Structure 1
Amino acid sequence: MKYVQINARSYDWAYSIMFARHRELTQSGHESWVFWARGAHEQDDHMVKIAAIPEVCLDALETRLDGKPGFHSQGITRRLLHQLNQIDPDVVHMYSLLGYYINVEMLFAWLLQHRCKVIWTLHDCWAITGHCIHFHDAGCGQWEDGCGFTAPCPIQDAYPETFRKGMEKWNYEQKKRIFTSLPADRMTLVVPSEWLKRYVDRSFLSKYETIVVPHVADSTVFKPTQSGFREAHKVGDRFMVLGVASKWAERKGLPIFLKLADILDRDKYVVVLVGLRRGQLREARGRVVGLPRINDQRELAKIYSAADVLVNPSTEETFGMNVAEAIACGTRAIVMRGSACAEVADNLIETIPDARAIAREIEKLRIERDSSCSDASIQPGTSA
């Protein structure tokens, strides 16, 4: 079998999902190729970065000017399709197509003309909307019947950003035409949660079989790991509340974490945020322990292991890989009731996206931890 994977980037979940799949296929005797556009990773004849930074930047600029994400990058796409012609794959597995690197019309035209089976793993809602990657928090339901058909998009400033507004109807019509062009028996959709499947099943992609395959944290990396993180960052014995994101934004819950930092007693608690950009680091200085994005998975495992609890306040996650990774490292997690994160594991605490409600759950966990530590200090034959 010849198996090709295509994704926007090589980091974050791609490392533990896409490249892990590549290794499994190769070890099983299959021929496997991985193509991506952004991020560093070792390369060889079967692992190829297909885009240069200026090309990605040009696509991003064109998208900002014309409001048509996914309809540029003809040069990058032609190079990719030339590779696919040479490989003649049996299976093409696509992940994130949004990312300023691929022309979806050219890619699907090639797929339609060739014999390969197609797997498309969806990590957000962009494939079924005329603009946004998430609509849950906005309470928008236009994607079911047609974005922009009855009213303008309520979140036109959301990613993917564009100066040209009002393109959601055009995008919706084109994506519906292109993404449904393959016969139903040739493409299978994969989603990481029942939460996302419910949306896909109500969209124009409903003719395709959609299966739920939860992500799995790499147990060789994400496991309880000793480190000097607490000492290095002066956490000490304080209860460590952790938040991790590849890109922090309001929907990821950054404002909630900053409120938590103000609510919680800093003599007893410390909030640690991983993935902050430079401006966010300045804003959070003195309130939290702020760290930039960490691509080294083993370093992340050390931070997860050092934490007392991971908090994921987002209600729009399609899975919650950071939750799975934290739990694999032996760390409890607080997630939002009804979110996809609540499907990750049983050992979770569910609450609502409110800083004070989350703070109450954190307080319970600290008391539980301190009580356990006190009990453990009582030796047989002694009394408290």
Structure 2
Amino acid sequence: MRVFQINTFCGIKSTGRITTSIAQLLEKQGDECLIGFGAEDVPPMFQYYAYRIGMPIGRKVHGAIRKFLDMEGYGSSLATWRLIRKIEAFNPDVIHLHNLHGCYVNVKMLFRYLKERGTPMVWTLHDCWPFTGHCAYFDFVGCEKWQAICDHCPQLRSYPTCLWWDGSRRNFRRKQRAFTDIPSLVLVPPCHWLEDLVKRSVLRMYPIQVIENGVDVTVFQPAPDQVCEALRQRFGLEDKQVALAVAADWDERKGLRYLLEVAPVLDERIQLVVLGLTQTQIESLPTGILGQNATASTQELAAWYSLAQCLVNPTMEDNMPLVNLEALACGTPVVVFQTGGCAEVVDDTCGRVIPKGDALALAKAIMEIASQKESMKNACLVRASHFDSQVTYQKYLALYKELCQ
């Protein structure tokens, strides 16, 4: 069996790691996989699977079109033409789509080709962009226009950011034409929260199968004490209880402002550590918060999770964040807001789910959980075992085989 995956990233960030996990499982059983990706570099260990879609200059031009004309997904014509040629040469039995935003592919061209080709398709929906006229999420502003038709977008300045023209109505219609009437397409949301949204969207005619995100428990596992102690000494945290927060991009929806609110009221023994900040964000942090850039090392990230008393994830809009699973797999309880699919992973045995936006309740939960890590550690590991990527992503392989029959 030959599978061609398409995603913004390959081998990095949450969606990129999902694509390579699937590729490795396919390879183990003697199948072939190629991953077409559009952004950033690929770790050396995954370059065997990778095919770069387009060039950086093409993404910049596409980004300019998006920035001023709200046309995410409608540039990159040459890159998409070459991608189509690559798909033809690889001749896959299944095509697996992931995130198609990120200024690297022309969705109109791609889907016209995919409809003509008729290859069975799987589309993992990592966010809501496929069925809105602009945004990737809409919970933050409570918008419901996507259920009928998008227009006068209240989130034009949110990702994918546009500074001038509101093309949400046009985009909605274009997506509706491009993404419907596709034979042999199965949609895969990673949580039931997103499944419910899809069933109310313009994509509701397709079969849906929930396949949860998985965590590599061979990488994300409790780190040795000496590794954690070395990390503590490196950052002067020897006498502190660490409350850790991790994100790839700390934009508004990720809830950084709630961390700024809770930091002053936390017990003085608790040190709030935030990973994934830009240098500008780090320089603007108040005293009491230790900010760091993102770490490229999964081993170091696992060590951070392991030494922390809890992971704090104040995201206001999300699907099924991998950081929650990664922390649990390292034996660390998680404190989250009631948003997206977070509550489908975290319960009172392995953390706390807090009403969205309640900073006081968030602070209380952090202080409560920080003193209970050892008693909750085993429950965290058991919970994480249900999301072992070796198990969850086997469901994709079973789905591929079913579609090929």
Normalised to the residue count of structure 2, the TM-score between the two structures is 0.87
- My pick for the range that moved more, 326-335 or 58-67, is 58-67
Give, as a single letter, the amino acid of the residue that structure 2 aligns with 1:310.
L
Instruction: Tell me, in whole angstroms, the C-alpha distance in 1 between the residues paired with 2:339 and 2:285.
Output: 29
Does residue 196 of structure 2 align to residue 194 of structure 1?
Answer: no
Cα distance in 2 for partners of 1:17, 1:236 equals: 35
Are 1:317 and 2:315 counterparts? no
For 2:314, the aligned partner's letter is P
Query: Which segment is superposed worse, 270-279 or 13-22?
Result: 13-22
CA contact (8 A) 1:35 1:50 kept: yes
Partner of 2:392: none
2:211 corresponds to 1:207: no
Amino acid at match of 1:295: A
Correspondence for 1:222: 220
Q: Does 1:334 align with 2:335?
A: yes
Contact 1:69 1:160 (8 Å CA) reproduced = yes
Q: How does 1:141-156 map to 2 (within 5 A)?
A: 141-148=144-151, 152-156=152-156
CA shift for structure 1 position 144: 0.2
Give the C-alpha shift of residue 285 in structure 1.
5.5
Is 1:7 the counterpart of 2:10 in the alignment?
no
The counterpart of 1:238, out of the listed 220, 223, 240, is 240
**1:174 equivalent in structure 2:** 174
SS at match of 2:141: coil
Give the equivalent residue in structure 1 for 2:302.
301
> Alpha carbons of 1:124 and 1:14: their partners in 2 closer, same or farther (altered >3 Å)?
closer
**Aligned ranges for residues 259-298 of structure 1 at < 5 Å?**
259-265=261-267, 267-284=268-285, 286-298=287-299
Q: Report the residue type matching 2:111 in the other structure.
A: F
Tell me, yes or no, if the aligned pair for 1:258 and 1:287 is still in contact at 8 Å. Answer: no
Alignment coverage as a number of residue pairs: 366
TM-score for the superposition, normalised by structure 1: 0.91
Aligned counterpart in structure 2 of residue 92 of structure 1, from 92, 95, 108? 95
Q: Confirm or deny: 8 A CA contact 1:273 1:291 kept in the other structure.
A: yes
Deviation of 1:165 (Å): 2.8
In 2, Cα distance between equivalents of 1:210 and 1:115: 19
Which residue does 1:354 correspond to in 2? 358
User: CA offsets, 1:107-127, max 9 Å, x none?
Assistant: 101101113101100111111
Q: Deviations over 1:197-256 (max 9, x none)?
A: 111110000000111111111011000013222111112232211111000012101000
Aligned partners of 1:370 and 1:166: how far apart in 2?
Answer: 51
Select the structure of larger CA radius of gyration: 1
Structure 1's unaligned 5+ residue stretches are: 373-384
- Which piece of structure 1 moves more, 42-51 or 56-65? 42-51
Deviations 1:29-52 (A, max 9, x none): 112111111122236564222232
Distance between the aligned counterparts of 1:86 and 1:8, measured in 2?
21
Task: Tell me: CA distance 1:236–1:63, structure 2 relative to 1, closer, same or farther (3 Å).
Answer: same
Q: Could you tell me which residue of structure 2 aligns to residue 82 of structure 1? A: 85
Q: CA, structure 1 residues 24+237, in 2 after alignment: closer, same or farther (shift >3 Å)?
A: same
2:398 is matched with none
Shift of 1:338: 5.0
Give the structure with the higher percent helix. Answer: 2
Distance 1:196 1:207, change over 3 A: same
The 5 Å alignment of 1:93-112 reads 93-112=96-115
Which runs of at least 4 in structure 1 moved beyond 6 Å after TM superposition? none
- RCO greater where, 1 or 2, for CA within 8 Å and sep 6 or more? 2
Pairwise CA distance, 1:341: 0.8
Deviations 1:122-163 (A, max 9, x none): 111111110111101201100000001xxx211211111112
Question: CA RMSD, aligned part only?
Answer: 1.8
The CA deviation at 1:370 is: 9.6
**How do 1:30-109 and structure 2 match up within 5 A?**
30-41=31-42, 42=44, 46-109=49-112
* Contact 1:315–1:340, Cα closer than 8 Å, also in 2: no
Question: In the alignment, does 2:130 pair up with 1:127?
Answer: yes
Q: Distance in 1 between matches of 2:109 and 2:342?
A: 34
Contact 1:91 1:118 in 2 (8 A): yes
Structure 1 pair 67–339 and aligned structure 2 pair: CA distance change class (3 A)? closer
Q: Measured at CA, do residues 349 and 169 of structure 1 come closer, stay the same or move farther in structure 2, by a change above 3 Å? A: same
For 2:271, the aligned partner's letter is V
Structure 2 residue runs of 5 or longer lacking an equivalent are 377-405
Contact 1:71–1:103 (Cα < 8 Å) also in 2: yes
Q: CA-to-partner distance for each residue in 1:73-116, whole Å, 9 max, x for gaps?
A: 01111111110111121100010000110000111011011131
The alpha carbon displacement at 1:177 in A equals 0.7
Q: Determine if contact 2:54/2:76 at 8 Å carries over to the other structure.
A: no
Structure-1 residue corresponding to 2:21 = 20
